[in-house]
Chains A and B, each alone.
Chain A
Amino acid sequence: MAEDTGGFAIHPMDQFIVEPLFGGDTVHWYTPTNVTLWMALTVIVVAALLIAGMRGRAIVPSRIQSIAELAYGFVYKMIEDVAGRDGVKYFPYVMTLFMFIVVSNFLGLLPWAFTTTSHIAVTAVLALAVFVTVTALGFVLHGTRFLKLFWIEAAPLPLRPVLALIEVISYFVRPVSHSIRLAGNMMAGHAVIKVFAGFAGALGVASVLPIVAVVAVYGLEVMVAFIQAYVFTILTCVYLKDALHPAH
């Protein structure tokens, strides 16, 4: 990308452009794009890990089976610990989110990859799905008693309306922070790597420094890729807990 232009032209955001896969310029809602390609790869990797990896069904697991079981146990325990026993019903839903995000994040770290989770459109849909589901679940399970989530009875009575206002605002800010946190982390890291790579292309011999920086940031990004998937999932569990047990 930036490397082959010869000059000091860095386009760190080019990697995020949504393009049609089979030529053409228009992106209709149904057009197969690089989004389609990388999401399909995500599905394939998830299936490969969780189905093909478990093919042996061994009591003593192979390496891939261990990874699949670790992922299962990781998310299962997270729901159990955060949302309680009755949250386990929603395990497939939370596991879907976790697997999609973590696999997309890691696939995005491959060279020339397109990171689907770096797009606010994707993360906003994920976060809104959680927000809408959790809110609906809260009202279905508890009716209007769900609103007690905002009415903090531990606080002195005069303070409660103020706190309720703050609680309501923070409740509605949740999907915003939930989605921007993930997309922002993914985008920033990838952009920084691309900027350093652009320096490496322009600096000649001294490009050792930016290459070292790219390696360092890449290591950081590997960590961030997992941590952001974890954060998204655990926040989902926390919101789920609010819906299941609205009383503080």
Chain B
Amino acid sequence: MATEATGSAESAAGMPQLEFSTFPNQIFWLVITLVVIYFILSRIALPRIGAILAERRGTITNDLAAAEELKLQAAEAEKAYEKALADARAEASRIIEKSRAEIQADLDAAMERADAQIAEKSAESEKRIAEIRESAVQSVSEVARDTASEILARFDAKADAKTVDAAVDARLKEGGMA
């Protein structure tokens, strides 16, 4: 044990690695350390880490599958949406066409009615104008006859009513009023 007692002092110059007296000590503690680490790893740490890694791989695989599924669903939904859109467009144009035809029909009917009313109104008006004109001509010939008779009376000229009427009619015809 004397060499071991001076071991520290000696090794300051040499290599402590070659201090063989410390070998049993190092080897003893190393073996204990390795056994402890081995049991820690093989009993607790490694199975646990392996399980977590496997779980993660499983989760990732599942998530990828789910993502693929969702992608398919999304594509389907898009297709359905496109179809609904096309249907709606077709329906809309159909409704527009129908409305246009209806409106056109209404419009035509209204136009016809209006035309008929206008024609009726104008016929009535024409009739009344003709009446008024007729009565006006009547009045003029009456006034002319009376006036002629009066003038003749003032000149003491005798004239029968027949002659006067004929003269007035002739004059009116000449004037273009009849």
- The chain A residues found within 8 Å of chain B, CB to CB, are 11, 13-14, 16-19, 25-31, 33, 35-36, 39-40, 42-43, 46-47, 50-51, 54, 57-59, 68-69, 72-73, 91-93, 95-97, 99-100, 116, 118-122, 125-126, 129, 183, 187
Shortest Cβ-Cβ A-B pairs, 10 listed: A29-B24, A50-B45, A92-B42, A18-B22, A16-B16, A39-B33, A121-B26, A25-B5, A121-B23, A96-B38
Contact between chains at A29 and B46 (CB < 8 Å): no
Most A C-beta atoms less than 10 A away, residue of B26, B36, B50, B53: B26
- The chain B residues found within 8 Å of chain A, CB to CB, are 1, 4-5, 7-8, 11-12, 14-19, 21-34, 36-38, 40-42, 44-46, 48-50, 52-53, 55-56, 59
Distance in Å: Cβ of B123 to nearest Cβ of chain A:
95
Contact between chains at A13 and B12 (CB < 8 Å): yes
Complex Cα spacing A39 to B36, Å: 10
Interface SS majority for chain A: helix
When distances are taken between beta carbons in the complex, the residues of chain B under 8 Å from A28 are 24-25
**Contact status of A96 and B34, CB under 8 A, knowing A11-B12, A43-B40, A51-B44:** yes
Contact between chains at B5 and A72 (CB < 8 Å): no
Q: Across the two chains, which residue of chain B brings its CB closest to A29?
A: B24
Complex Cα spacing A18 to B36, Å: 22
Contact between chains at B40 and A50 (CB < 8 Å): yes
Q: Which of B4, B26, B59 contacts A59 (CB 8 A)?
A: B59
Contact between chains at B16 and A13 (CB < 8 Å): yes
Distance in Å: Cβ of A92 to nearest Cβ of chain B:
4
